[in-house]
Amino acid sequence: MKRSSAPLIMAITVAALGLYWLYYSFATPYTPQTTFFPTTDFARSTHEVYIFVNLLLLAIFVLVEGALIWVLFRFRKEDARPGDPLPEQVHGNTKIEVGLTVATTLLVIVLFVPSCQQIQFMQTKPDDALVIEVTGKQWWWEFYLPEHDLVTANEVHVPTGRPVRFDLTSTDVIHAFWIPRLGGKRDNVPGRTQFIWMTPEEPGIYDGQCAEYCGSSHALMSMRVVVDTPEDYAAWVAQQKAPSNPAAMSNFASFASAGCLTCHTTLVNDGTVRNMLGPNLTKVATRTQIAAGILPNDSDGMTTWIQNPQYHKPSAKMDIPAAQCTGEGEPDPCCRMIGIGNCLSEETVAQLVSYLQDLK
């Protein structure tokens, strides 16, 4: 490669990377987990700080790289003629060094002020927030809404126009709650409660993902927030709280005898049944997905999940690895799913799926 073409290649590479970044940031707005299309006050104000910082840094980058490229071309060795005098040889320049130090300090202050304002904004608890207590679990999310005394899992609805405060904790390891278009992200730390809040503005479906490595199925720990109009939200709460008698439904006997009630409940979704080993299934058929966002909530998704949870979510507490099941005889209820052909016939699985699909 000719030495003189190096700056050009460098400039083209930088421009290509910039275009690639722009395309994936702006031309694909419906990537579910983008931060570029915020839909809450919190997400937007964070985004504005982000854009401000990046535009400022982009301007500095262009200035510095532009000066560098100009110097590389202007003073290249190929242009020097024999006999040209040597430029003046200098060491250090107090004015330039002081100037750079002052400019850098001012720049840090310019970055510091809006960042502090944003932190102040998001650390002030809003009045009249809808509180949702979020417990991270390996590898799913429990949601509890004290205002309605309502427990659900992995998918929760919120209304527009009212601040929602997620109170975050964990019962095992550190997880992180992150729904990019609503704003984020914050850790769920065992033994401690932190909060994050925002005011949803646009009805829609917003997906998020655990953002702190938490074990083998960390990548399979999604959550979904459905933002409703206030009317739709009221209807959702009414549906979740509607009395039903799941124990009287056909196929409940199969569900009970398969041992599912050891870790799940289908009977109540109030504060008396928080922190069970598995998600609350009282109204499971009203959710759009199962297993923390990794399978669709339909007969096929439910069937393949029950038949082989370990295939879909390695090390999930559902289906304890065979090595932990002791002896022959009558297995522990949670181990019953091992060797599914022996313990849960296809007919039984079909009955369980049918039962669960009716829970709405």
Binding site for ligand CUA (CB under 6 A): 136, 139, 175, 210, 212-214, 218, 221
In the complex, least distance from residue 359 CB atom to ligand CUA, rounded to whole angstroms: 26
In the complex, least distance from residue 247 CB atom to ligand CUA, rounded to whole angstroms: 32
3-state secondary structure 311-344: HHCCCCCCCCCHHHCCCCCCCCHHHCCCCHHHHC
Secondary structure (DSSP) of 158-169 = EETTS-EEEEEE
In the complex, least distance from residue 357 CB atom to ligand CUA, rounded to whole angstroms: 27
- SS3 of 170, please? strand
Token pair for 18: 């910039």
Nearer to ligand CUA, 283 or 313 (CB): 313
Token pair for 270: 């109030």
Contact by Cβ (8 Å): 206, 181: yes
Nearer to ligand CUA, 39 or 138 (CB): 138
In the complex, least distance from residue 254 CB atom to ligand CUA, rounded to whole angstroms: 31
In the complex, least distance from residue 69 CB atom to ligand CUA, rounded to whole angstroms: 43
Nearer to ligand CUA, 134 or 344 (CB): 134
- SS3 of 92, please? coil
In the complex, least distance from residue 323 CB atom to ligand CUA, rounded to whole angstroms: 24
Nearer to ligand CUA, 246 or 278 (CB): 278
Residue 133, φ and ψ in degrees, nearest 5: -85, 125
Helix (H) or strand (E) holding 126: none
**C-alpha triplet 279, 285, 288: angle, nearest 5°:** 85
In the complex, least distance from residue 175 CB atom to ligand CUA, rounded to whole angstroms: 3
Nearer to ligand CUA, 214 or 302 (CB): 214
Residue 331, number of CB atoms within 10 A of its CB: 19
Nearer to ligand CUA, 175 or 336 (CB): 175
Closest CA to 251 of 333, 359, 178: 359
Nearer to ligand CUA, 135 or 254 (CB): 135
Q: CA dist 137 to 13, 223, 350, Å?
A: 43, 12, 28
Nearer to ligand CUA, 210 or 344 (CB): 210
* Tokens 């002020």 -> residue: 113
Token pair for 228: 């409703």
In the complex, least distance from residue 313 CB atom to ligand CUA, rounded to whole angstroms: 12
Q: How far apart are CA 284 and CA 281, in angstroms?
A: 5
